[in-house]
Structure 1
Amino acid sequence: MTDRKPAIVLVDDLRSFVDGRPAEVARTSSAGVELLDRHRSNRLDELWLDHDLGDDDTIWPVVEVLERAAFECRPFDVGVVIIHSANPAGAAKMAQALRRWNYPVRVASGDPAVGYVDGVGSADRQAGP
């Protein structure tokens, strides 16, 4: 057995884990891409993705990184991609794109694990600006 803590990444512009679980959080797509780059050679147990990231930003640059890696026969090692977007059309397109490349996807719109909390939990480590 190993004492390795689960590697969890959350890409969401506003929400955090309400239970304070340790996760790396990206608030923009560019910060999400940076987090993926940092985890390129490591397993991600959970990758939580929101579609709309504020203003004109969306999750698509992150999805494109995952797709490109799979296309190049080097997919990211992800236990599960959890799409928690409140945008049904965006969530469906994300799921379709990622399943095409055999990423394990669960659509969990409205999942109570993520919500609007005051500030970012102390266990969260911000990525990006």
Structure 2
Amino acid sequence: MSETPSAGTRVVLVDDLRSFVDGRRAEVARTSEAGVRLLEGYRGRRLDELWLDHDLGEDDTIWPVVEVLERAAFDGRPLDIGVIKIHSANPAGAAKMTQALRRWGYRVTPASGSTAVGYLDKPVSPAEPPA
């Protein structure tokens, strides 16, 4: 079964390094701040899929994005999201995100190890100078 959404599907990916490798169209946020801005634009609009990574580089994590979702639900106006897919490689972070978001009624699906997201270019390690 393919994970590729149909044309016209609204998808947001919040991940500092990975992208969709299957060519699907998505709005991408590389920081929690950018993720919060993207979600604010979906108030009152349907978002079909929200893909979340936990660790966003340096000291940044997904928690500011999760807090926006929690606050909206607490205020009785949860964002209209079909499914939230957590693709984090951080098992403890993924579990906490799942628990927090399900508590507020969001539909959450674990997607760690999904082949839909990956590195489009091989990341350069600090010991390896760029070519």
Ranges in structure 2 where 5+ consecutive residues have no aligned partner: 1-5, 123-131
SS at match of 1:111: coil
In the superposition, the TM-score normalised over structure 2's length comes to 0.87
Task: Identify which of 8, 13, 37 aligns with 1:10.
Answer: 13
Cα distance in 1, alignment partners of residues 59 and 110 from structure 2: 22
Cα distance in 1, alignment partners of residues 59 and 8 from structure 2: 34
Q: CA deviation at 1:20?
A: 1.1
Name the Cα RMSD after superposition.
1.4
Cα distance in 2, alignment partners of residues 77 and 11 from structure 1: 17
Matched, 1:61 2:81: no
Task: Identify which of 35, 38, 42 aligns with 1:39.
Answer: 42
Q: What residue number does 1:84 align with? A: 87
Q: What residue number does 1:126 align with? A: none
The letter for the 1-side match of 2:31 is T
Cα distance in 2, alignment partners of residues 52 and 88 from structure 1: 11
Cα distance in 1, alignment partners of residues 33 and 26 from structure 2: 17
| Largest Rg, 1 or 2 | 2
Task: Identify which of 101, 105, 110 aligns with 1:98.
Answer: 101
Q: CA deviation at 1:38?
A: 0.9
Q: What residue number does 1:25 align with? A: 28
Cα distance in 2, alignment partners of residues 107 and 28 from structure 1: 21
SS at match of 1:93: helix
Once superposed, which parts of structure 1, at least 4 consecutive aligned residues long, lie more than 4 Å away?
none
Q: CA deviation at 1:4?
A: 7.1
Q: CA deviation at 1:97?
A: 0.1
Cα distance in 1, alignment partners of residues 8 and 114 from structure 2: 22
State percent identity of aligned pairs. 74
Matched, 1:51 2:79: no
Give the number of the structure with larger relative contact order, counting CA–CA contacts within 8 Å between residues 6 or more apart.
Answer: 1
Ranges in structure 1 where 5+ consecutive residues have no aligned partner: 120-129
Equivalent pairs, count: 117
Q: Aligned in 2, Cα 1:4/1:73: closer, same or farther, shift over 3 Å?
A: farther
Cα distance in 2, alignment partners of residues 29 and 74 from structure 1: 21
Q: CA deviation at 1:39?
A: 1.1
The letter for the 1-side match of 2:108 is V
In the superposition, the TM-score normalised over structure 1's length comes to 0.88
